């Protein structure tokens, strides 16, 4: 079903000199902008930035395809035109390499593993409203970046589930253990434990040094936020990503629950049942768009409206990422 939009695709196409299609069909990126004339990405962005931001606010995801964008530096400049100054990737959960200023490889997580749906930094008191991805090298096999409209998720969840999360929020427990995932020095980008402790205290994160390099932290944040521009309520947290049931059974056998790298509960510490998680699994199965990369694709997401993940892949696959527009969690979003 095509949705009524406030901006007409035909009108915009002729104003901006490119093909614009707007769709709400499952399996199609909501806004796809294509050009077959290899239009210079940066110059075009300057001309189109207001319209792109308007489309993004309405639809949550915009794909630019076929533009002339020369690697990380152009990606950085073009993103800045649309989205303002990029942010440094702090308080990390994902192994990433910086490739240019604040442009990073999207993740160097093992390629045979799925990365579950999440909104970037939604476990962190300071988060980015915008995120973009750029395809430098497409994967040979699979390696899609699945995306999904979390505003639809908000409408899909049962009242009981929403009420429970609204009431209790989400508790996050994270362990950094030597040899498992990122070490604390990478996460906090310092070698100084005093600085880590200070950062944690300032952010109301409880911490415990179990051993020299084993740090366990826990904190609670709301599960729902209001979008800072549209003011609509959005599902914005990392609950699903960290739920125990999504772990490989071998990992669960290896670790005691208290030592899992990243695990989530209701804010009061109680278990989130598998039945609740099944609602999310059903939604993601039905509504996820398995976005397949083509070289030089530029995908812009409103991080509070669209979640993303990563399918396992083969081949080189280099997807770059960049973030902007920092916001603070509203800790009492009633």
Please give the residue ranges that form the binding site for Fe ion (CB under 5 A): 120
β-partners of residue 68 are 40
Nearer Cβ to Fe ion (120/296): 120
Instruction: Determine the residue with CB nearest Fe ion.
Output: 120
Q: How far is the CB of 120 from Fe ion (least distance, A)?
A: 5
End-to-end CA distance of the chain: 33
Nearest residue to 96 via CA among 117, 79, 121: 121
The residues, ordered by sequence, that sit 6+ positions from 291 with a Cβ below 8 Å of its Cβ are 29, 63, 144, 145, 146, 147, 299
Q: How far is the CB of 241 from Fe ion (least distance, A)?
A: 9
Nearer Cβ to Fe ion (74/120): 120
Q: How far is the CB of 313 from Fe ion (least distance, A)?
A: 15
Cα distances (Å, whole numbers) of residue 196 to 3, 182, 199, 216: 48, 15, 5, 12
Nearer Cβ to Fe ion (271/290): 290
Q: Tell me if 158 sits within 8 A of 278, measured CB to CB.
A: no
Q: How far is the CB of 44 from Fe ion (least distance, A)?
A: 26
Neighbours of 70 (CB within 10 A): 12
Nearer Cβ to Fe ion (266/298): 298
Nearer Cβ to Fe ion (144/213): 144
- C-alpha span between 223 and 267 (Å, rounded): 9
Nearer Cβ to Fe ion (93/176): 93
> What would the DSSP string read from start to end of 121-189?
TTTSSEEEEEEEEEEEE--SEE--EEEEEHHHHHHHS-HHHHHHHHHH-EEEEEEEBTTBSS-HHHHHT
Q: How far is the CB of 308 from Fe ion (least distance, A)?
A: 6
- C-alpha span between 215 and 219 (Å, rounded): 13
Nearest residue to 322 via CA among 75, 94, 74: 75
Q: How far is the CB of 114 from Fe ion (least distance, A)?
A: 12
Q: Tell me if 266 sits within 8 A of 169, measured CB to CB.
A: yes
Q: How far is the CB of 115 from Fe ion (least distance, A)?
A: 7
Angle at 3 between CA 2 and CA 8, to 5 degrees: 100
Task: Enter the tokens of residue 284.
Answer: 């993601």
Bridge-based pairing state of the strands 61-65 and 31-34: parallel
Q: How far is the CB of 118 from Fe ion (least distance, A)?
A: 6
Nearer Cβ to Fe ion (120/150): 120
Nearer Cβ to Fe ion (40/292): 292
């Amino acid at each position: 079903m095509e949705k009524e939009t406030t901006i007409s695709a035909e009108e915009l196409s002729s104003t901006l000199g490119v093909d614009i299609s707007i769709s709400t069909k499952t399996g199609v990126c909501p806004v796809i902008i294509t050009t077959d004339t290899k239009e210079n990405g940066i110059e075009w962005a300057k001309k189109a930035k207001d319209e792109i931001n308007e489309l993004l606010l309405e639809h949550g995801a915009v794909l630019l395809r076929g533009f002339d964008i020369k690697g990380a530096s152009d990606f950085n400049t073009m993103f800045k035109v649309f989205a303002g100054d990029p942010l440094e990737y702090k308080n990390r959960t994902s192994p990433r390499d910086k490739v240019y200023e604040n442009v990073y490889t999207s993740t160097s997580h093992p390629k045979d593993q799925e990365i579950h749906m999440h909104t970037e930094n939604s476990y962190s008191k300071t988060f980015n409203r915008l995120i973009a991805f750029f395809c430098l090298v497409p994967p040979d096999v699979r390696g899609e970046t699945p995306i999904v409209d979390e505003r639809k998720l908000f409408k899909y969840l049962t009242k009981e589930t929403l009420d429970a999360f609204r009431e209790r929020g989400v508790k996050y427990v994270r362990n950094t253990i030597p040899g498992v995932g990122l070490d604390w020095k990478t996460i906090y980008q310092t070698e100084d434990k005093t600085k880590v402790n200070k950062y944690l205290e300032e952010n109301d994160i409880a911490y415990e040094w179990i051993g020299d390099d084993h740090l366990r932290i826990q904190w609670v944040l709301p599960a729902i936020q209001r979008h800072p521009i549209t003011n609509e309520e959005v599902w914005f947290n990392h609950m699903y990503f960290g739920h125990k049931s999504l772990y490989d059974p071998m990992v669960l056998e290896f670790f005691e629950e208290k030592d899992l790298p990243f695990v989530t509960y209701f804010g009061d510490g109680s278990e989130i049942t598998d039945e609740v998680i099944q609602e999310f699994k059903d939604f993601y199965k039905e509504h996820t768009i398995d976005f397949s990369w083509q070289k030089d694709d530029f995908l812009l997401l409103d991080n509070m409206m669209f979640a993303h993940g990563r399918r396992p892949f083969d081949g080189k696959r280099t997807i770059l990422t960049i973030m902007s527009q920092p916001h603070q969690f509203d800790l009492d979003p009633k």
